[in-house]
Structure 1
Amino acid sequence: MMTIKKLLLIACSPCCFFAADANASDWEKSLADDPFFADSTFDISARNMWKYLKTENRYDNEEERYATSVQQAWAQGLTVDYTSGYFADIIGFDASYYTAAKLGASDNFASRAILYDDDGEAKGYTKIGQRYAKLKMDILRAKVNVKGGWFTIKNTGIFSNSQRMSLNTHSGWYANTAIDNVSVDTLFLDGKVMRRDSPNIDRMYIRDGNGESRDVDHVITGGINYKSKPLKAYYFYGVADDLLFKQGFEGWWDAFPDITLGTQIYEQEYGSDAKRTTSSTARGKQDFDKRAWHYSATVEWRIPQTPWKIVGGLTYTEAKKTNGVGQFTRNVIGNARGRFNSPAYADIDYVRDGETMLALAAEYKFTPDLSVGVRTNYSEFDYEGETLRQGQLGIYSNWDPAKNWSVYLNGGYGWHHEQESDYTTPKLYNGHSQRANSLCGEMSVTYRFRL
Structure 2
Amino acid sequence: MKMKNAMAAALVIGAPTQVMAVSINDYDRTGNDGELNVYMRAVHIDTRIENDLMDDLFGGIPIGERLGGTALGVVTDYESRYWMDSIGFDASLYGVAKIDARPEDRDLFDDTSGDSKSFGKLGQANLKFRHGGEHWLAAFQAGRGRFDAGTVVTKDTRAVPGSYQGARGQMRFEGLDIGPLPGVLSLDAAYINRTSPRDREDFEKIVSESGEEITDIKTFGVEYDARLIALKFARGVARDFNRNTSYGLTLRAPIGEDGGVLLETQYYDFQKEGELWDHDWASGDAAYDDDANWLNVNLGVEIARWGLGLSYSKSEAELSNGMLGYAYFDHGDNADGLMDAWTRSGNDFNNDGEEAWQIGVQYDFSGHSLGRIPLDGVNAMAIFKRGEFDATNPLSGVSSEVEEKQLEYRLNYRFDEPEHEGVSVGLIYTRYWINEDFVALVSAQPDNVLNGEELRVYVDYAF
After TM superposition, is the score higher than 0.5?
yes
Q: Give the TM bin, normalised by the shorter chain.
A: 0.7 to 0.9
- Superposition deviation, residue 265 in structure 1: 1.0
1:294 equivalent in structure 2: 294
Match for residue 105 of structure 1 among 101, 105, 114:
101
In 2, the alpha carbon distance for the partners of 1:261 and 1:278 equals 37
- Superposition deviation, residue 447 in structure 1: 1.1
Q: Deviations over 1:336-364 (max 9, x none)?
A: 11111112312445101100000111112
Q: Deviations over 1:65-115 (max 9, x none)?
A: 443521111111111110001112111000111111111111221xx2222
What letter matches 1:375 in structure 2? I
- Superposition deviation, residue 160 in structure 1: 1.1
Secondary structure of 1:116's aligned partner? coil
1:24 equivalent in structure 2: none
2:20 equivalent in structure 1: none
In 2, the alpha carbon distance for the partners of 1:206 and 1:244 equals 10
1:132 equivalent in structure 2: 126
CA pair 242-396 structure 1, distance change in 2 beyond 3 A: same
- Superposition deviation, residue 201 in structure 1: 1.9
1:15 equivalent in structure 2: none
TM-score between the two structures when normalised by the length of structure 1: 0.80
The answer to whether the Cα contact below 8 Å between 1:40 and 1:85 also exists between their aligned partners in 2 is no
Match for residue 242 of structure 1 among 237, 240, 243:
240
The answer to whether the Cα contact below 8 Å between 1:261 and 1:298 also exists between their aligned partners in 2 is yes
In 1, the alpha carbon distance for the partners of 2:414 and 2:211 equals 43
In 1, the alpha carbon distance for the partners of 2:53 and 2:110 equals 24
CA pair 277-94 structure 1, distance change in 2 beyond 3 A: closer
In 1, the alpha carbon distance for the partners of 2:123 and 2:104 equals 25
The answer to whether the Cα contact below 8 Å between 1:93 and 1:134 also exists between their aligned partners in 2 is yes
2:284 equivalent in structure 1: 284
- Superposition deviation, residue 321 in structure 1: 0.5
Greater RCO (CA < 8 Å, at least 6 residues apart): 2
In 2, the alpha carbon distance for the partners of 1:132 and 1:66 equals 47
Spell out the pairing of 1:213-292 with structure 2 (5 A cutoff): 213-257=211-255, 258-274=260-276, 276=278, 284-292=284-292
In 2, the alpha carbon distance for the partners of 1:436 and 1:148 equals 41
Secondary structure of 1:123's aligned partner? coil
2:389 equivalent in structure 1: 381
The answer to whether the Cα contact below 8 Å between 1:58 and 1:423 also exists between their aligned partners in 2 is no
Spell out the pairing of 1:400-411 with structure 2 (5 A cutoff): 400-402=414-416, 403-411=421-429
The answer to whether the Cα contact below 8 Å between 1:58 and 1:421 also exists between their aligned partners in 2 is no
The answer to whether the Cα contact below 8 Å between 1:284 and 1:422 also exists between their aligned partners in 2 is no
1:71 equivalent in structure 2: 67
The answer to whether the Cα contact below 8 Å between 2:147 and 2:168 also exists between their aligned partners in 1 is no
The answer to whether the Cα contact below 8 Å between 1:204 and 1:215 also exists between their aligned partners in 2 is yes
1:447 equivalent in structure 2: 461
- Superposition deviation, residue 274 in structure 1: 4.0
- Superposition deviation, residue 272 in structure 1: 3.3
Match for residue 433 of structure 2 among 415, 434, 446:
415
The answer to whether the Cα contact below 8 Å between 2:44 and 2:456 also exists between their aligned partners in 1 is yes
In 1, the alpha carbon distance for the partners of 2:270 and 2:311 equals 21
Aligned: 1:122 with 2:120: no
- Superposition deviation, residue 177 in structure 1: 1.6
Secondary structure of 1:135's aligned partner? strand
The answer to whether the Cα contact below 8 Å between 1:248 and 1:264 also exists between their aligned partners in 2 is yes
Q: Deviations over 1:310-343 (max 9, x none)?
A: 1111000010100221101243521011111112
Aligned: 1:187 with 2:190: yes
Number of positions where the alignment pairs a residue of Structure 1 with one of Structure 2: 391
Secondary structure of 1:344's aligned partner? coil
- Which segments of 5 or more consecutive residues in structure 2 lack a partner in the other structure? 1-32, 175-183, 367-375, 393-398
In 2, the alpha carbon distance for the partners of 1:278 and 1:375 equals 34
2:358 equivalent in structure 1: 359
In 1, the alpha carbon distance for the partners of 2:51 and 2:385 equals 18
Q: Deviations over 1:241-289 (max 9, x none)?
A: 1321111023332133321111211111111324549998xx9222100
CA pair 229-214 structure 1, distance change in 2 beyond 3 A: same
In 2, the alpha carbon distance for the partners of 1:371 and 1:105 equals 29
Q: What CA RMSD, in Å, does the superposition of the two structures yield over aligned residues?
A: 2.6
Q: Mean Cα displacement is larger for which, 64-73 or 166-175?
A: 64-73
Match for residue 162 of structure 1 among 144, 155, 158:
155
Secondary structure of 2:343's aligned partner? helix
Q: Deviations over 1:357-392 (max 9, x none)?
A: 001111122223112221111000012431000111
What letter matches 1:287 in structure 2? A
CA pair 276-58 structure 1, distance change in 2 beyond 3 A: farther
Runs of 4+ in 1 over 6 A off after TM superposition: 58-61, 277-280
Match for residue 55 of structure 1 among 37, 49, 74:
49
In 1, the alpha carbon distance for the partners of 2:445 and 2:154 equals 28
The answer to whether the Cα contact below 8 Å between 1:254 and 1:260 also exists between their aligned partners in 2 is yes
Aligned: 1:344 with 2:339: no
The answer to whether the Cα contact below 8 Å between 1:42 and 1:83 also exists between their aligned partners in 2 is yes
The answer to whether the Cα contact below 8 Å between 1:352 and 1:424 also exists between their aligned partners in 2 is no
The answer to whether the Cα contact below 8 Å between 1:48 and 1:444 also exists between their aligned partners in 2 is yes
Aligned: 1:94 with 2:90: yes
The answer to whether the Cα contact below 8 Å between 2:315 and 2:351 also exists between their aligned partners in 1 is yes
TM-score between the two structures when normalised by the length of structure 2: 0.78
CA pair 277-97 structure 1, distance change in 2 beyond 3 A: closer
The answer to whether the Cα contact below 8 Å between 1:237 and 1:245 also exists between their aligned partners in 2 is yes
What letter matches 2:154 in structure 1? N
In 2, the alpha carbon distance for the partners of 1:71 and 1:232 equals 41
CA pair 57-206 structure 1, distance change in 2 beyond 3 A: farther
2:27 equivalent in structure 1: none
Instruction: Using the aligned pairs only, state the percent identity.
Output: 21
What letter matches 1:437 in structure 2? N
What letter matches 1:129 in structure 2? G
In 1, the alpha carbon distance for the partners of 2:280 and 2:284 equals 11
What letter matches 1:295 in structure 2? L
In 1, the alpha carbon distance for the partners of 2:280 and 2:114 equals 33
In 1, the alpha carbon distance for the partners of 2:189 and 2:335 equals 18
